[in-house]
Structure 1
Amino acid sequence: MDHAGTIDAEALRQAVTESFDETISRLKDLVAIPGIAWPSFDPAPLNRSADAVAGLVRASGFEDVRILRCDKEDGTPGGPAVVARRPAAAGKPTVLLYAHHDVQPTGDLALWETDPFTAVERDGRLFGRGAADDKAGILAHVAAYSAVTRVLGDELGLGVTFFFEGEEEAGSPTFRTFLETHRELLRADVIVVADSSNWKVGIPALTTSLRGLVDGTIEVKVLDHAVHSGMFGGPVLDAPTLLSRLIATLHDADGSVAIEGLVSRDDVTVDLTEEEYRADASVLDGVKLAGTGSIASRMWTKPALSIIGFDAPAVDVASNTLLPRARAKFSLRLAPGQDPAAAMEAVRKHVEANAPFGAQVVFTPGESGNSFLTDTASKAAGVAMWALGEAWGVPAVEMGIGGSIPFIADLTELYPDVQILVTGVEDPDSRAHSANESLHLGDFRNAIIAEALLLARLNEEGAL
């Protein structure tokens, strides 16, 4: 297949470049709005964020622009999503362009080198909360669409739908309901999810696999109530100690997940060196890496389990007491192809079978999400790989992501014939969710060019 078709790649590149300063200005304006969808935060900034995004979409030429939301299970309103639709001409496909406008909280402000909600350019990067994750995804979609409309004019018959979610960082609690409510409005032949990363600065990637996820809590009980550690300590071990012993059974001696029945593969075709991983993950000198196989497979196609919370008294208020119970929260990333329900059951069986010293163990399942694998043989994937390589001037790579985007499973279930492309504007140093989040401006421009090329090619007969 001729992925280039007859499109004028240079004209698209020039259109993106000419408006790039304006694109950055608009991105800075969005970064200034602290729209956080967590229930504990004021919803007013999130609503302002939706209004601002809707304004950007209207300015790009869309007439049918809506701000929609669905209620959560408890009856409270979900985050505001911005949806805009341009119908396809007869015989043309429709592409849905997804990103999200809500952001993570800032965390400890003392860790930020600049105000998180004032976008600052420095050393070729734009710093600020949401600058990369995922307001840049919104601007990439809008700028690419605008460039294509300027270059193609009346020749653009491609159907285009913008779907900019407003609660992704809060776990997308109404996503499934939203899809079911607006199923026809969001129907498309190709979906581009701009919420991932590139391989590294200067090398683009199409994300072809995402790990699934299950989480939950493990509680250990040993006493009916707390007792004096001097009077009763010795014959019985406290709950934090026993919970720690139980947690230690979750990995084997080399750090691999030791839970039986989990899918694990080592078939990744690209790899990170240990030095690159250590630098990207800020691993301290002397810390030995865990697991076996390639670094990339440990990140993308093997399970990874972390303890992300631990309930015990803080050191500053600790007393000489044998604690009767302790609780921890685990997060288990699943290899592509793993059934989340089977994985959750495997964790339950493991912790109950490894209860230390006969302690009572209470396992409480939490959230779960499916993994994702791209059909790399699809026509849309081929066009995307070509567009990425054309925009950057180097071949694109297929990569996995160790994280999870559970709502993609909802998309594939409701639209089984859709071709899903997971792209992104981030790089290993973007620090999404962390302090000093940033966007590499050169790669951002290339991402817009790549999407403009993709849209222009999908507009041509025979591209799909």
Structure 2
Amino acid sequence: MTPDQIEGAVAAAMPQAVEDLKRLVAIPSVAFPGHPEEPVYAAATATEELLRSTGLHHVQQVAVEGSFPAVYGEAAGPPGAPTVLLYAHYDVQPAGDPTLWRTPPFQPTLIDGHLYGRGAADDKSGIISHVLALRSFRGQFPVGIKVLIEGQEEYAGHRLEDFVVQHPDLVRADAIVVADTGNPRVGDPSVTTSLRGMAAFTVEVRTLQESLHSGSFGGAAPDALAALIRMLAALHDDNGDCRVPGLPRGRFLGSGPSEDEFRKTAGVLDGVSLVGSGSVADRLWSSYAITVTGLDVPSVGGAINAVQPVARARVTVRVPPAGDPKTTLDAVASFLHQVAPWGVRVSIDDVSLGTGFLADSGGRARAALNRALERAFGRAPRDIGAGGSIPLVATLVKLFPAAEILLFGAEDDDAAIHAPNERLNIEELRRTATAEAIFLQELGAEV
């Protein structure tokens, strides 16, 4: 197929693709503990049906121990053609407070060329971009195709990674497309060449056998919540830089957003300063970042006059690409024990680790992708970093060191992923799917 033919095929398929995406977004496939499991399995079934519609010769759900099923598909390419693995995930983040959404999170709503709903961008857009690209070939693929759609990326541990290690031939490929990133701005084609790793854990503080009346005991009884607050506050200095020994600031060698651009994208309120030192790219993509993502304490609405005996917090540490998540976890946990006041009892559990990623200079597949992105977007792509983590990527790097791993997708920095009012720009989806299809054609044509 020519690039013109691919562009026409993707454009013609867009109305159906948008309807397919709406159907996926309407499924609340939150794979976090405590959420209903039925919608997650429903999303797996819907994903399986979508892959079958692309002309892949073989599609099935595969069991992943301790997790939800992955959806796998494959088709042989012409003799001697390379094999490309396409990855995305069908699970989504919890919606959070529904009152913060302008439209219901699981009622996909199309407004001014944007589809609103949880998972519309992260990462059901990745599924649909693969589906759109594959449909354009009508079952006659220019390369060998493998597709792996995960069911518990947002809260996964190492479940899929362990599965891949046990079944390497299932995902063995010459190039791997990970559709779980995006562009800094709509229409600004980018390839993510670095990912931070992650070390997440829950810290618990205990001080008393049970809660006590604050009027009778407050002022002498050690408050677990007050102790935990002091410990968490000690993680950063007054400038917002990490205070944990052994976690230095890093430097990103490529380009990144200006402070004004970042403030606008992040929605930082007027008069509120950014935190940390170095360029924004340094802080986002090459330095350690510690975030408290949850607290188990009485809510304001349910508050009682009591000294708390126990308090818990979920802490996530983003680790530079070259950093070691386990060493980072040990450093932060040790620091929290050191700064714990009053001899309180501190425990660390529910640990999750993910290794970062740093791409090499690129080879034949990256060159083909560059050409494809320039054709689809009308401008050459640039390299960017990402502050998030994709645990599977590091595993694939270890298993297949000769494979080129390419990270790009239909998301953008204004897509509000993991936040209320997540949305996807429909035109960005078309361009991304067009680029992916042209990339497959370009790579196959080099044989």
- TM-score, structure 1 as length reference: 0.89
- Distance (whole Å) between structure 2 residues aligned to residue 115 and residue 246 of structure 1: 37
- Distance (whole Å) between structure 2 residues aligned to residue 381 and residue 111 of structure 1: 40
Pick one of 396, 418, 421 that aligns with 1:436: 421
2:46 match: secondary structure? helix
* 1:17 paired residue number: 11
Q: Is the 2:86–2:130 contact (alpha carbons within 8 Å) kept by the matching residues of 1?
A: yes
* 1:304 paired residue number: 289
One-letter identity of the residue aligned with 2:22: K
* 2:97 paired residue number: 108
- Distance (whole Å) between structure 2 residues aligned to residue 439 and residue 132 of structure 1: 5
2:132 match: secondary structure? helix
- Give yes or no for the alignment of 1:424 onto 2:434: no
- Distance (whole Å) between structure 2 residues aligned to residue 264 and residue 37 of structure 1: 33
- Give yes or no for the alignment of 1:394 onto 2:388: no
Q: Is the 2:256–2:384 contact (alpha carbons within 8 Å) kept by the matching residues of 1?
A: no
* 1:200 paired residue number: 185
- Distance (whole Å) between structure 1 residues aligned to residue 305 and residue 34 of structure 2: 35
1:140 match: secondary structure? helix
Deviation at 1:255, TM superposition (A): 0.6
Deviation at 1:427, TM superposition (A): 0.9
* 2:64 paired residue number: 70
- Give yes or no for the alignment of 1:94 onto 2:79: no
Deviation at 1:193, TM superposition (A): 0.7
- Give yes or no for the alignment of 1:131 onto 2:116: no
* 1:117 paired residue number: 106
CA deviation map 1:303-345 (0-9, x unaligned): 1101122233333444444334433221111111001111111
Deviation at 1:263, TM superposition (A): 4.7
Deviation at 1:187, TM superposition (A): 1.2
Structure 2 CA distance for partners of 1:274 and 1:223, relative to 1, 3 Å: same
Q: Is the 2:157–2:352 contact (alpha carbons within 8 Å) kept by the matching residues of 1?
A: no
- Distance (whole Å) between structure 2 residues aligned to residue 119 and residue 217 of structure 1: 33
- Structure 1: which 5+ runs fail to align? 1-6, 73-77
* 2:146 paired residue number: 161
- Distance (whole Å) between structure 1 residues aligned to residue 232 and residue 121 of structure 2: 35
One-letter identity of the residue aligned with 2:442: R
Structure 2 CA distance for partners of 1:116 and 1:225, relative to 1, 3 Å: closer
Q: Is the 2:213–2:305 contact (alpha carbons within 8 Å) kept by the matching residues of 1?
A: yes
One-letter identity of the residue aligned with 1:383: A
- Distance (whole Å) between structure 2 residues aligned to residue 211 and residue 277 of structure 1: 18
* Deviating more after overlay: 310-319 vs 227-236: 227-236
* Deviating more after overlay: 196-205 vs 109-118: 109-118
- Distance (whole Å) between structure 2 residues aligned to residue 336 and residue 111 of structure 1: 33
1:220 match: secondary structure? strand
* Deviating more after overlay: 121-130 vs 197-206: 121-130
One-letter identity of the residue aligned with 1:147: S
- Distance (whole Å) between structure 2 residues aligned to residue 19 and residue 388 of structure 1: 19
Structure 2 CA distance for partners of 1:357 and 1:80, relative to 1, 3 Å: closer
- Distance (whole Å) between structure 2 residues aligned to residue 48 and residue 316 of structure 1: 35
- Structure 2: which 5+ runs fail to align? none
One-letter identity of the residue aligned with 2:31: A
Q: Is the 2:284–2:387 contact (alpha carbons within 8 Å) kept by the matching residues of 1?
A: yes
Matches within 5 A, 1:273-292: 273-292=258-277
One-letter identity of the residue aligned with 1:88: G
Matches within 5 A, 1:37-76: 37-72=31-66
What is the total number of aligned residue pairs between the two structures? 447
* 1:75 paired residue number: none
* 2:442 paired residue number: 457
- Distance (whole Å) between structure 2 residues aligned to residue 311 and residue 117 of structure 1: 26
- Distance (whole Å) between structure 1 residues aligned to residue 26 and residue 106 of structure 2: 5
Structure 2 CA distance for partners of 1:133 and 1:318, relative to 1, 3 Å: closer
* 2:159 paired residue number: 174
Structure 2 CA distance for partners of 1:162 and 1:364, relative to 1, 3 Å: closer
CA deviation map 1:187-238 (0-9, x unaligned): 1111101011112111011111111111223333444554454445445653
Q: Is the 2:133–2:434 contact (alpha carbons within 8 Å) kept by the matching residues of 1?
A: yes
Pick one of 212, 234, 251 that aligns with 1:266: 251
Structure 2 CA distance for partners of 1:384 and 1:324, relative to 1, 3 Å: same
User: Over the residues paired in the alignment, what is the CA RMSD in angstroms?
Assistant: 2.3
Matches within 5 A, 1:189-268: 189-223=174-208, 226-234=211-219, 237-268=222-253
- Distance (whole Å) between structure 1 residues aligned to residue 393 and residue 203 of structure 2: 28
* 2:321 paired residue number: 336
Deviation at 1:43, TM superposition (A): 3.1
1:185 match: secondary structure? helix
1:400 match: secondary structure? strand
One-letter identity of the residue aligned with 1:460: A
* 1:385 paired residue number: 370
2:171 match: secondary structure? coil
Q: Is the 2:85–2:171 contact (alpha carbons within 8 Å) kept by the matching residues of 1?
A: yes
Structure 2 CA distance for partners of 1:230 and 1:58, relative to 1, 3 Å: closer
Indicate the percent of aligned positions where both proteins have the same amino acid. Answer: 40
Structure 2 CA distance for partners of 1:176 and 1:113, relative to 1, 3 Å: same
* Deviating more after overlay: 394-403 vs 273-282: 273-282
One-letter identity of the residue aligned with 1:404: S
Structure 2 CA distance for partners of 1:16 and 1:250, relative to 1, 3 Å: same
- Distance (whole Å) between structure 2 residues aligned to residue 316 and residue 126 of structure 1: 34
* Deviating more after overlay: 198-207 vs 313-322: 313-322
